[in-house]
Structure 1
């Protein structure tokens, strides 16, 4: 039912009455009466009750465009919509677009701004060989003040990256030609303060885009990754200058396969051929270079090159670590930090710490005590699962779409070749990472020559890539699930794995009690791969219930992460909770959280969707089933 109202009057009255903490949101923390009367232009009166419906009204008022008389038309049906339907619709119709960026005249200034760094000058760096891009960006920026356009050197070294840490900037992305005119290829950002294209975030975002039939945006994400590999040598942690020496967890072939399977009839084979060629190049140059990301045991590790303190972290982030290495008690942490940055203080141990720290950030799991201070010395379960997936994806593509042979640099690579290297990887994973005693996979420490036994959600990754035997899958679930499963999902690590962490040490956001969308999504798919449908549906319901409940109570919020033990987005941990700072309407939610919601709904049976909309507590459902 549609009603016409004066937007300014209704919005002002609603906020005055219901937004008692003056944060431009209506939540359960507000102390208003939670009952508001809407007066229409025809003097009809409608009453809206309850936090959820009142916050929906606030969102609809903000989204509606008023005419010259200040009148808007809003739908009472939208305001009273069931919560899961509304959240999913907001993601599909609003949030993806709010997260979309283009390096064109209308969007470039916003992308060049960087909330992580306090900088006055805005820089855009262009790859050495991309002369067309330089001309395009010259044209785009010629009428915009305070933008500096620079070309990167032909060879990008850690020393060069360090030299421009005080001159950070965005890195150019892919362009396309439409009607003989160059245009920027769109991409999506994670959300909140993150205003650039991130590595593994993009894979999970793309799952949501494919579910919501956002074909061009999904393809744009892949094309931008293709451009990054060709021009920067890798898929970057993110497309900012201080990330040039870091890659991210490899999901490129998964994105390609999932997109092509859905849109094969609308996609030329030449596009797939370019993606395969690019994936092989990345596989061989980024992951299989001996001594770097290819370790001595034949498995892979994260190994992000760089010098000194990372450029993107907030002030004070490393104080706990720097204090441990500071020998002079009369010297402040800030003085020590500056002298170390300027290389007036040499510390091989601290240099080694930051090699590991950068590698943690390359892993995407920044930060966790699983990897703290040792990341570059570990061949991890998650990374080797993902590289195995590349090998199997390439075998699948070549067999099914290229008549079982793909010519790459004068080599004829057949599907059997990729199946063979994948089989060898499984053998190595079972040799170094599989633990017979617990029946689970663990990261392997190359220096100590033993498994770490740190219990992490990444232990479920082999189920996602179908690496395990049925017996292995069963034992992994039996071992890890009781240690990681809580009321609202899977924690990043077990509580027990943190027992050696000092009490005064900072909490790490990828550990207990926090839960993250990519882990949940990988685990759901892994369980379904091995026939554990009931368990997958339970975990999906618990996760979606938490998102739905928080959104209903807190003005539609969809944040970066959750405390899955207590079921809240209010977390006191490093970096806070990105995506929770907004007014009126969530500003795009958060990319992979949006995607987890769309994926979860697509996998949930209709009877659970009904219970979700009634916000039936998960324990009311599953305690009965499990007992």
Structure 2
């Protein structure tokens, strides 16, 4: 017999006050409980069980081959009266057999529970069956508890909702909001929390870059007005872009531009995560949120020299795969193109991408002048600080033993430079490169990532070059001035050209589409020269130190599809092989 859970017998369901079935949790569970009662809740049966059915846990089987007479039969939409806390307890006790507070296919429970129906005031019941309905039930109960509800009327339709529709609705109306952050006085307490911080210092820190005096003064003012924050205006969370707004008192103040974080341990703005997040935001109509994230990337390039892996001070030496041009163009395609403000916004984004391209991706050490291939090769020394404390213990133990130190003592001395281990330096160079690639972790890059001209990075930079050329030609009348001064990378690349100290400056001439299409054509040629393997009909990474291809097959070889079309037919043949398998 399935366990039967119902509401107290003195409670009556009020139909006309029920909210729309697909309302968000704030609406669906907000407000007062929608019941009437003739006497107090204290008259309810123990644990809220229906007295006509046995308690939830007897030694009989829970599973049945057919419906029993207790199941209510009705063509009307079915709703349940539920005691929130008791039902959570029973669901977890019966169904969550692995103790992870979730209901999944790995749990060995009966996947069956009876709930009292609203139309019968709980005297009749209906079975909730299967992993999906039970997991949704637990999720709905958790939402109800978050809204301080003790008892609820729950639509069956919320438990049987199409999975894609349910996920899409929750992403659009709930998840984006819960993952939104701002770096300003109102948002600091949330954004400064860093689960990756192993230093023991918990006071929130904020680093304001040089050249932003108004921003620095703003955060000093916040520190004075909110002493409970113990705000330390120096390295920590990195300041991001802000807008000037009215303060409501006839003056002006600064307000952080909101952005979305990945969540969990990653409570800051991330690079290529933000690109994929922005695609979802555009699908859900949050164009301004996506646009604001590009504004943050422009700010990072201007003040920190690159789009950072993440907006913490320990990420200052590291970027991630380049997606800015596509991100900006995808957003611009959803803006009013007759609005000159939107055109100016795209101009700033393309100018920033050009600076990032010249000063990061085709600049040493990431550029290999001999081949012309770009690499993930970040600066930095020591152990990546964002990892779990024991992540590198197995790597560090032999060195700690060699120096007669504990792993912790060795780590501290190695990080502060009092101990030098060139072999370990090389290991962490490649480890940082793997993290910069966004593909951490993979055997494909093990102990060699910083030396590789990876096929995916070349494909992304080819798209950068085409995107920039196309934007200059189609949007900016084939002329784009660069306002910020920086050195332009030599073209075509060669060791001799990169050895020359005198470089052309960005402000020396306007940018035209022709030179960017030339760069794209050159990159396509070197990709075919160094990365294409004719015998295997596939692109591979190229090791610029060993001067050979690394024959590790990766799905990123297909990033070239639609970008370098000459190999399209050959590459697509691989998909037919995959389909056959």
Query: Offset at 1:279?
Result: 1.2
Range moving further from structure 2, 382-391 or 317-326: 317-326
State the secondary structure of the residue aligned to 1:407: coil
1:102 aligns with 2:176: no
2:303 aligns with one of 207, 228, 231:
231
Report the CA distance shift for 1:343/1:5 in structure 2 as closer, same or farther (over 3 A).
same
Query: Offset at 1:441?
Result: 1.4
Query: Offset at 1:32?
Result: 4.0
Report the CA distance shift for 1:330/1:90 in structure 2 as closer, same or farther (over 3 A).
same
1:61 aligned residue: 141
2:568 aligns with one of 455, 473, 487:
473
Q: Normalising by the residue count of structure 2, what TM-score does the alignment of the two structures yield?
A: 0.74
Provide the C-alpha distance between the structure 1 equivalents of 2:257 and 2:286, rounded to a whole number of angstroms: 14
State the secondary structure of the residue aligned to 2:373: coil
1:272 aligns with 2:346: yes
Specify every segment of 5 or more residues in structure 1 that has no aligned partner in the other structure, as ranges: 153-168, 486-534, 536-625
Q: Normalising by the residue count of structure 1, what TM-score does the alignment of the two structures yield?
A: 0.69
State the secondary structure of the residue aligned to 1:74: strand
1:134 aligns with one of 209, 212, 216:
216
Report the CA distance shift for 1:18/1:475 in structure 2 as closer, same or farther (over 3 A).
same
Provide the C-alpha distance between the structure 1 equivalents of 2:216 and 2:222, rounded to a whole number of angstroms: 10
1:563 aligned residue: none
Does structure 1 conserve the Cα–Cα contact (< 8 Å) formed by 2:203 and 2:232?
no
1:211 aligns with one of 258, 263, 283:
283
Does structure 1 conserve the Cα–Cα contact (< 8 Å) formed by 2:381 and 2:415?
no
1:172 aligns with 2:239: yes
Task: Show CA shifts across 1:533-573 (max 9, x none).
Answer: xx7xxxxxxxxxxxxxxxxxxxxxxxxxxxxxxxxxxxxxx
Does structure 2 conserve the Cα–Cα contact (< 8 Å) formed by 1:103 and 1:184?
yes
2:452 aligned residue: 378
Task: Show CA shifts across 1:156-212 (max 9, x none).
Answer: xxxxxxxxxxxxx21111111334442111111112211111111111111111112
Provide the C-alpha distance between the structure 2 equivalents of 1:190 and 1:358, rounded to a whole number of angstroms: 20
Q: How does 1:515-594 map to 2 (within 5 A)?
A: none
2:320 aligned residue: 248
2:113 aligned residue: 36
Query: Offset at 1:71?
Result: 4.7
1:391 aligns with one of 465, 490, 511:
465
Q: How does 1:388-427 map to 2 (within 5 A)?
A: 388-408=462-482, 409-427=507-525
2:498 aligned residue: none
1:428 aligns with 2:508: no
Query: Offset at 1:35?
Result: 2.6
Provide the C-alpha distance between the structure 1 equivalents of 2:364 and 2:433, rounded to a whole number of angstroms: 16
Query: Offset at 1:481?
Result: 7.7
1:351 aligned residue: 425
1:143 aligned residue: 226
Report the CA distance shift for 1:338/1:460 in structure 2 as closer, same or farther (over 3 A).
same
Question: Which one scores higher on RCO, CA 8 angstroms, separation ≥ 6?
Answer: 1
State the Cα RMSD in Å: 2.7
1:449 aligns with 2:559: no
Specify every segment of 5 or more residues in structure 2 that has no aligned partner in the other structure, as ranges: 1-76, 247-251, 483-506
Query: Offset at 1:94?
Result: 1.9
Task: Show CA shifts across 1:409-454 (max 9, x none).
Answer: 2522121121111111111111122222222211111221111122
Which stretches of structure 1, 4 residues or longer, exceed 6 Å deviation after superposition? Answer: 65-69
1:93 aligned residue: 173
Does structure 2 conserve the Cα–Cα contact (< 8 Å) formed by 1:442 and 1:451?
yes
Range moving further from structure 2, 279-288 or 18-27: 18-27
Query: Offset at 1:360?
Result: 1.7
Report the CA distance shift for 1:263/1:26 in structure 2 as closer, same or farther (over 3 A).
same
